[in-house]
Amino acid sequence: MNSREIALISTATVFGAVASAIAIRFFFNPKKHFSGIDSSLNGVAERKASSQSPFDPSKRKGYLSWDDYFMAIAFLSAERSKDPNRQVGACLVSENGIILGIGYNGFPRGCSDDKLPWSKKSKTGDPLETKYPYVCHAEVNAILNTNHASAAGQRLYVTMFPCNECAKIIIQSGVSEVIYFVEKRLNNSDTAYIASHKLLSMTGVKVRKHQPQMNQILIKFEEL
């Protein structure tokens, strides 16, 4: 197993260790890689020698906020997606800040990632030759993967604003708040996302855009 293919286990007791010891992911531009990063800059979470005096009784500075922590886990989960065009991750969190489930977009359990299509379009115009009839969205997987009896009253962190179909599941499961990183409408009249906003608003589900306190989160295996 290499650093890019680490299986995420849906058990709350291991998430702290997983989140603090896995992979590289950037908040603002996941596709952009940086070189020559100065780890002393504000906004970089990196394992390094402490500059704090051993006699200083105060807590460490520069640690992750809860929102950044859970959104980072959603981003990390997205790295498991096999979709070549769009990788989405989600993290379901209890009112007490305990991770209940994670998910990413992919085919249902038991369906081969190599036998079903990942394409967005079909050369013949047949929708069955595209990914859309088969893929389960990250939000749905996070809710279904929960290790808790219910998602009622919980928060859902997701890297991309949920579509209308996911909004229905979110509402029916009782999730109380959705925190998303980015909303990618194809255009201002995109029915799925307009409907999603309408459904979530009508049912009182809180929605807010994540505002990162750190520009990026960088973890290197060799430096652990």
Catalytic residues: 139
CA distance 27 to 68: 9
91 Cβ contact partners less than 8 Å away, ≥ 6 residues apart:
70, 71, 73, 74, 77, 99, 101, 102, 142, 156, 157, 158
Where in the chain does DSSP place strands (E)?
44-45, 89-93, 99-104, 155-160, 177-182, 206-209, 216-217
| Max Cα-Cα span within the chain | 70
Residues in the chain: 224
